[in-house]
A = this chain, B = another copy of it.
Amino acid sequence: MNDYRAIIENSLRDYIPQKQSLEEEVADSMRYSLNAGGKRIRPILALEFCRLCSGDAMIALPFACAVEMVHTYSLIHDDLPCMDDDDMRRGKPSNHKVYGEATALLAGDALQSLAFETMLSDEAVKAVGADKAARAAGALARAIGAYGMVGGQIIDLAYENKSADEEIIREMHRKKTGALIRAACEIGCIIGGADESQIKAAQDYAESIGLAFQIVDDILDVTSDEKTLGKPIGSDADNSKSTFVTLYGVKKCVELVNELTDRAVNSLNVFSGDTSSLKELAYSLAKRKN
């Protein structure tokens, strides 16, 4: 999957052309966050599910990169003063600290557009066919709106300083981060020509690793240190935020992560191809330290 990562990094650079134009500042701001690294989990998932279904990962590349563009836009907006007001992201100053709030806002907006532009370019549509391109782009759009990713962010903000029960926390995670991870897996399947049972299995896998990912986040927030994590620890407690850890404690949470990881791995049984990389990814996310 490290090969995928290198290809994704290069492609993300190519999708924002360098122009001698008056609006170069917003393009710079987009590049700053898009090329700031990160695990690239979502595009990797899209590529690997496409490979699993069709034998060819690369036909999903524009769609995989589109998912990462949406993820990046959501991080830029999430860090803004009117949202989480975070000065640092991935060990670097957050977008608005470098480019100012207005440019950061617009860079996020333009990254969302760029995701759809990338999926619906003449080239991408020609390569996979208009049916699959429209279906994949539609799946992404549905995943990130008011009743998807953005809805999850609103729930998160609403319960920032208010206690939430498990149902609310699950709903928040399922939307705030789960919806995009699920869309990544689903899009890979769509482009790869998967049947309905395979798409369902990919969604199950995504939901399990997505929730496990969030619980690991909650655990690391109380067990890690700022240097390892690349961001301040203890932020949930500072915000009096209800998390899986505040509800159940670290030990129970580690068990829950293991259960979810097993569930994710088992959901891959419907695929006849080699699922070892996806299994490994699920295990590595469960054991990650940052």
Contacts and interface: CB of A to CB of B under 8 A. Distances in A.
Contact size class for A? 35 or more
A24 B114 CA distance: 27
Interface in A5-20: 16, 19
Interface in A110-156: 110, 112-114, 116-117, 120-122, 125, 129-131, 133-135, 137-138, 140-142, 144-148, 150-155
Contacts of A21: 147, 151
Contacts of A23: 146-147, 150-152, 154-155, 175
Contacts of A133: 130, 134
A171 B120 contact: no
Q: Tell me the number of copies of this protein.
A: 2
A60 interface: no
B120 A137 contact: yes
A54 to B, nearest CB: 19
Contact of A25 (B19, B113, B154): B154
Contacts of A135: 120, 125, 130
Interface of A: 16, 19, 21-23, 25-27, 30, 73, 77, 80-83, 100-103, 105-110, 112-114, 116-117, 120-122, 125, 129-131, 133-135, 137-138, 140-142, 144-148, 150-155, 157-158, 168, 171-172, 175
